[in-house]
Amino acid sequence: MTAIVAVTISAATINALGFTSTSKASVQARAAADAGVDVAIRNLRTTNGCMADANGTFTSAVSTVPVFSVLLEHLDPVLGWTKGCPDVTTTSMRITSTGAAQSLGVAGKTSGDSAVTEAIFTYVPIIVQVPLDGVAVYAHKVNGVLKKFVLSSASNSVATSVMVRTGDVECTNGAKIGGDLVLGDGSAKLDMCDVAGSVHVSKDVTMNKSNIGVDVTAHGLATITNSVIGGTVTSGPAAALPVVPNWVDVNYSQAEWIAQGYNFVSWTGPCAIKKGDVAWTDLKGYTHPTVVNFLTKCPTTAVTTSNAMDTVALNTNLVFIANQFTFDKIYFTSAVDRQLAFIVPDKVADGTPTCTPPAGLNGEIRLTSEADFGTTISAMVYTPCKVYSDRNGFRGQIYGGEIEFGEQAQLSFVPVGIAGVDLAGGVTVSKVTGAQLGALTSRRQLAGGD
C-alpha cells in the first residue's frame, strides 16, 4: 500500500509540474507571437520597412528573445492572398506570427511550446494635396487620340497628371498615364489605357480593358467593362464636378523677367539653327539665369533646329521666347539640375488661349524628332496655340492651348513652371504618394498557446 501511494503522489507531482510548465510556456509563446506581429506592424508603417524575403517571411534575430517567425501576405485582386511585401495593388495585409516559448513544457506537455497569431489590416493609399504647378500636362483642349502615350514621373512628391479644360479625351492602344486624368468639361473614352491615379470627368466615362489605380468619378454616366478599378466608382449628378483652373495668359514682358532676376539678351544667330552655329553653342557661356529673345530677330519666322545639332552643356537656367518653335533635334546636358522654358506669348489677357501669331506662322511648338534631355535637364513648354510632341526623351511640363501627342510620345514629368506666374490659381490636386497599413480588421489566435 505504501508503494502504491508513493507512485500516485509522484504521478500527481509530475502532472502538476507538466501543467505548470505548459502554462508558463503558453504565456511565453503567445507573447512571442504577439511580438512578431508588433514588429511586422512597425516595419510596414515605416517607409521601405518591409523586411520579408522572397517567401514573405522574416524571423527574430538569432540568440535573442522573444523568438518568432512571421509570414507576410498581401491581398492581390486576382491571385488572392500572396506571400510577400505589399505592392501597388494591395488592399489588405495578413500577418501570421509563430512564437516559441523560452521554457518548454516538461513531462510530455508541449502544447504550449508554440503559438500562432494572425492579424489582418487594410492597406490604404497615402493622398496629399499638391499645387497645380505639379501637373504634367495642362491643355485647354486635346486634339487626336492618346495612342501609346506614356506619362511617368521623375518625383513621387508631385502630381503627375493630365488636365484638360474643355473637350473630350480618347486614350487607347496601351497608353499609360502615371497620375490622374481630369476633364473640366468633357467625356473620357478609355480602351486599353491605364491610369495610375484617378479619372475625374464632368460628363461620361466609357472604359474597356483599362486599369485605374484609384477612383473613377463621372458627373454623367460610367460604363465600365473588363477593367480593374483600384478604388470606387461614382457617377451621376451627385458626383462631384472636377476642378480645372482657367487658362493663364503669359505675355512677353522684359521688365517682368528682369524683376524675377533674369538677364535679358536678344538672339543674334539664324532663325534656322543648325550644327556648328556659334550663337547656339555659346549658350554654354551663360552663368546667370537668362531670357533669350527671338522675337526681334525672328518676328515672322519660326525658330527651328536641324536634324544634326550640337549638344549644349548648360551652366544656368534659360528661357527662350519666340512666335513659333519647331525642334527636330535638340540636346542639352548639365552636371547639375537645370531648367529651360520655351514660350510663345499669349498677348491677350482674357483668361483663354488667344492664338494670334504673325502672318505665315501658326504659333505652335513642335517636338518632332529627338528632343532629348539628360536626367538633370527639364523644360516648360507654353503656347496659347498648339503643342505637338512625338518624342520619348522629353522631361518637364507642357501647357498648351491645344495639345496633340504622336504615338512615340513619352513625357517624364518634372515640375518646372514659369517664374513669377501662378499657373494654379490656388487650385490643388490629390496625389497618391504611396500606401500604408490601415485599420486592424481581424486578430485571432490560430494555434498553440493552450
Percentage helix, strand, coil for the chain under 3-state DSSP, each rounded to 5: 15, 45, 45
Q: What are phi and psi of 242, to 5 degrees?
A: -70, 155
Whether 229 is in a domain gets the answer yes
Q: CA dist 357 to 23, 54, 384, Å?
A: 87, 60, 10
Pairing of strands 169-177, 145-147: parallel
Query: Is residue 429 a part of any domain in this protein?
Result: no
Same domain membership, residue 143 and residue 104: no
- Weakest mean pLDDT among 33-37, 107-111, 140-144, 366-370: 107-111
Higher pLDDT, 224 or 374: 224
The residue type of 135 is: V
The alpha helices in 148-281, defined as continuous H runs, are 254-259, 278-281
Alpha carbon dihedral 365, 366, 370, 376, in 10-degree steps, equals 30
Query: In terms of domains, do 267 and 403 share one?
Result: yes
Q: Is 270 exposed, middle or buried (0-12, 13-18, 19+ CB in 10 A)?
A: middle
Whether 307 shows a pLDDT value over 50: the answer reads: yes
- What span, in angstroms and rounded, lies between the C-alpha atoms of 150 and 102? 56
Strands 114-131 and 428-448, by their bridges, are antiparallel
Indicate the pLDDT class of residue 185, thresholds 50, 70 and 90. very high
Same domain? For 146 and 112 the reply is no
- Mean pLDDT of the region 32-46: 92
Flag whether pLDDT at 92 surpasses 70.
Answer: yes
Q: Is 98 found in the same domain as 1?
A: yes
What's the distance, CA 162 to chain centroid? 12
* 428 in any annotated domain: no
Shared domain check, 10 and 96: yes
Pair (406, 292) in one structural domain: yes
Q: How far apart are CA 135 and CA 155, in angstroms?
A: 12
Residues in the chain, overall count: 450
* pTM score above 0.75: no
pLDDT-based confidence at residue 156 (cuts at 50, 70, 90): very low
Q: Which residue stretches of 272-346 are H helix?
A: 278-281
For residue 339, which amino acid is it? Q
Domain of residue 158: give its range.
137-244
Instruction: Tell whether 260 is covered by a domain.
Output: yes
For residue 265, pLDDT over 70 is answered with: yes
Q: What is the pLDDT of residues 375-397, one digit of tens each?
A: 899 999 999 999 998 877 788 89
Spatial distance between the Cα atoms of 32 and 265, rounded to a whole number of angstroms: 71
Torsion of CA 384, 386, 390, 392, to 10 degrees: 10
Please give the Cα distance from 383 to 165 (Å, whole number).
15
Residue 127 · residue 387 · CB < 8 Å: no
Contact 187, 216 (CB under 8 A): no
Could you tell me the sign of the dihedral formed by the alpha carbons of 193, 198, 201, 207, in that order?
positive
Q: Based on the structure, what is the number of domains in the chain?
A: 3
Q: Do 99 and 178 lie in a common domain?
A: no
The whole-number average pLDDT for the span 96-122 is 80
Per-residue confidence (pLDDT) for residue 433, from 0 to 100: 66
pLDDT at 77: 77
Residue 277 lies inside a defined structural domain of this protein: yes
- The dihedral formed by the CA atoms of 200, 202, 203 and 207, expressed in degrees to the nearest 10: -10
Residues 113 and 207 in one domain: no
- Taking Cα atoms as reference points, which of 112, 95, 105, 116 lies closest to residue 50? 95
Q: What is the secondary structure of 405-435 as a DSSP string?
A: E-TT-EEEE-----TT--SSTT-EEEEEEEE
> The C-alpha cell of 336 is what?
547639375
| Mean pLDDT computed over 351-362 | 95
Band (pLDDT 50/70/90 cuts) for residue 287 is very high
Which position has the higher pLDDT, 323 or 10? Answer: 323
In a domain, residue 235? The reply is: yes
Q: Which of 209, 244, 279 is the last residue of a domain?
A: 244
pLDDT at 155: 52
- Could you tell me if 141 and 121 lie in one domain? no
Confidence at residue 205, expressed as pLDDT on a 0 to 100 scale: 97
Residues 126 and 206 in one domain: no
Q: Greater confidence, 427 or 407?
A: 407
The share of the chain scoring above pLDDT 90, in percent, equals: 55
* Whether 285 and 323 share a structural domain: yes
- For the segment 411-450, what is each residue's pLDDT rounded down to a tens digit? 888 889 898 888 876 666 666 667 788 899 999 988 875 5
Q: Do 37 and 169 share a structural domain?
A: no
**Is pLDDT of 51 > 90?**
no
Euclidean distance between the first and final Cα of the chain, in Å?
36
Q: Does residue 441 belong to any structural domain of this protein?
A: yes
Banded model confidence at residue 334, pLDDT cuts 50, 70, 90 = very high
Contact indicator for 342, 311 with CB cutoff of 8 Å: no
Residues 19-32 have a mean pLDDT of 74
Model pLDDT, residue 153: 65
In a domain, 351, yes or no: yes
Q: What is the reported pLDDT for 370? A: 66
